[in-house]
Amino acid sequence: MKRLNDFFEKELWEIDVKSLSRFRAFLVRTLRLLYVAVLEFSEGQLVLRAMSLVYTTLLALVPLLAVSFSVLKAFGVHNQVEPFLYNFLAPLGPKGNEVTQKIIGFVENMKVGVLGSIGLAMLVYTVISLIQKIEDAFNYIWRIKRPRTFVRRFSDYMSVILIGPVLIFSAIGITASIMSTTVMQKVLSVEPFGTAVYIAGKVVPYIFVCAAFTFVYIFVPNTKVRFKSALVGGLFAGVLWETTGWVFASFVVSIYSGFAILIMFMIWLYLSWLILLVGAEVSFHHQYPQFLTVKNEALILSNRLKEKLTFMIMFLIGYNYYHNSSPWRLNSLIDCLRLPVEPVQDMLVLLGEQGFILETADDPPAYLPARDIEKIKLKDLLGSVRTAGEDSCSIEERFHSVSEVDQVMKRVDKAIGAALGEETLKALVLSRKEGIKEP
In a domain, residue 382? The reply is yes
Let me know whether 282 and 193 are in one domain. Answer: yes
Inter-residue contact 388 to 350 (CB < 8 Å): yes
What stretches in the chain show pLDDT beneath 70? 8-10, 13-14, 17, 40-44, 67-82, 84, 106-120, 123, 158, 160-202, 204, 252-260, 290-299, 363, 389-400, 435-439
Q: Is 221 helix (H, G, I), strand (E, B) or coil?
A: coil
pLDDT value of position 157: 72
pLDDT value of position 124: 72
Q: What pTM did the predictor assign?
A: 0.69
The number of distinct structural domains making up the chain is 3
Let me know whether 30 and 50 are in one domain. Answer: no
Distance CA 57, CA 126 (A): 10
In a domain, residue 134? The reply is yes
In a domain, residue 194? The reply is yes
Let me know whether 143 and 246 are in one domain. Answer: yes
- With left for phi above 0 and alpha for psi between -120 and 50, is residue 150 left, alpha or beta? alpha
Find the domain containing 248 and state its range: 43-291
Listing DSSP states for 364-401 in one string gives SPEEEESS-GGG-BHHHHHHHHHTTTSTTTTHHHHS--
pLDDT value of position 309: 92
pLDDT value of position 312: 93
CATH of residue 387: 1.10.10.10
In a domain, residue 22? The reply is yes
Task: For residue 165, give the nearest of 53, 70, 239 by alpha carbon.
Answer: 70
pLDDT value of position 298: 45
pLDDT value of position 78: 55
In a domain, residue 112? The reply is yes
In a domain, residue 383? The reply is yes
pLDDT value of position 311: 92
Let me know whether 320 and 175 are in one domain. Answer: no
Let me know whether 216 and 155 are in one domain. Answer: yes
In a domain, residue 437? The reply is no
Residue 338 CB burial class (10 angstroms; 0-12, 13-18, ≥19): exposed
Using CA atoms in the order 241, 246, 248, 252, what is the torsion angle rounded to 10 degrees?
Answer: -160
